Structure 1
């Protein structure tokens, strides 16, 4: 491995995951000695990377000179931190991990003062009760929604009745107690709301409904809002209430 490639891979390793990272651990990851890592860290610092730490303690990438600085107002930065920390609390495992990684990448691209502000932010998000964990691979559902592909799954409603559904997934909504899918249900031929923790055996079909998702979601939200106004405690879930499927 050339030293240039190793320096690049070392920067990648420092960007990923929480710090500090020891020279021994980095060396094992890159297949070199800890002494080589110390020399490479010194080279990266000479090139402009701001890397905190020392031998025996570990290293943390503070500012990444390979990425352009990002311009945020302090309040904008606090809003981003709060939003990402909220995702860590309510998102499915893949999404929560992605939010943590996004925070680390953001810190590496900010100027030193704002990077420090992000690291020691005064805002935090905490949920004493987490949403019910999903029983499907939510990443597959998100991808199918973006790709506008129909999905099928088993579903158990609030009364315990189980059906098999094939739907056009339109969007996901994260509530306090659960996450729901807004979809066009082919069985009911209508808009339906499905709780992810009641879904099972998710399958992505080969049936595309592109390019209709955006328009269908807009129409679905209009219909859901209208039902909510007519039946404020029925058709559409309140932010602090358990979501319920409409007229199912």
Structure 2
């Protein structure tokens, strides 16, 4: 893990867990050795973070100067919690964890009264859990290919049971309670296709870059959707 990402995870963990947090718990949560944890605490302090405590007593993050104070209405706070609940129902695990970390970071910057409101804005969902088959491939690899504009080769089984191998240019992910899709430009069909990620049985990096065509392709896709709003891209 990159040093910056590791330090950010440590800050997020200290915001999220009840203080004081022992070094052993922080090391476990962030996936580092206790020795590395002590070095990271020293690095954060050197960077201006106010962290009270010491080894054997536990640590408390008292101020994070990297984030300015923010203010939200009670309704906005509830909206953030509701968004996180929805994300937990339709997002993948990595995306849900990222959303929870972002929400904890936001709450940490609120004034004390609003921070207490946020902590008590507990809402419950009574809808049934989504029935969605898990991916058979590394979803992070698909997301990274979208970001880096890298073509990937996939083995795919369509809704009729037919199998094929495709090279696709992945453009973005689409989430719902029942399906997780990747919008892509299929190089076999030379057109836009929506692929069910749980039907991708294997994934390989092709080594081909389609940068900087992603933005233009998304623009073309949106234009086609406006012109044919009653249609959806064919399944892969």
TM-score category of the 2 structures, normalised to the smaller one: 0.7 to 0.9
> Distance in 1 between the 2:134 and 2:26 partners?
37
Report the CA distance between 1:170 and its aligned residue.
Answer: 1.2
Q: Is the 8 A contact 1:169 1:181 kept in 2?
A: yes
Q: TM-score, normalised by structure 2?
A: 0.72
Aligned to 2:159: 158
Which ranges in structure 2 are unaligned for 5 or more consecutive residues? 1-6, 36-48
Aligned to 2:18: 20
Q: Is the 8 A contact 1:149 1:209 kept in 2?
A: yes
Change (3 A) 1:158 1:27: closer
Change (3 A) 1:221 1:110: same
Moved more, 175-184 or 118-127: 118-127
Q: Is the 8 A contact 1:89 1:126 kept in 2?
A: no
> Distance in 1 between the 2:214 and 2:191 partners?
14
Aligned to 2:171: 170
Aligned to 2:85: 85
Change (3 A) 1:247 1:91: closer
Change (3 A) 1:184 1:127: farther
Change (3 A) 1:82 1:121: same
Q: TM-score, normalised by structure 1?
A: 0.69
Which ranges in structure 1 are unaligned for 5 or more consecutive residues? 1-8, 33-46, 230-234, 237-244
Change (3 A) 1:49 1:79: farther
- RMSD between superposed Cα atoms in Å: 3.4
Aligned to 1:213: 214
| Structure ID, larger Rg | 1
Structure 2 SS opposite 1:204: strand
Report the CA distance between 1:194 and its aligned residue.
Answer: 0.4
- List per-residue Cα deviations over 1:53-80 (Å, max 9, x = no partner): xx8xx8876x644332123333333322
Q: Is the 8 A contact 1:82 1:124 kept in 2?
A: no
Aligned to 2:44: none
Report the CA distance between 1:198 and its aligned residue.
Answer: 0.6
Structure 2 SS opposite 1:16: helix
Change (3 A) 1:25 1:247: closer
> Distance in 2 between the 1:59 and 1:173 partners?
40
Change (3 A) 1:194 1:128: same
Once the two structures are superposed, the pairs formed by residues 12-161 of structure 1 within 5 Å of their partners are: 13=10, 15-16=12-13, 18-20=16-18, 22-23=21-22, 25-26=24-25, 31=34, 64-66=63-65, 67-124=67-124, 127-130=127-130, 131-161=132-162
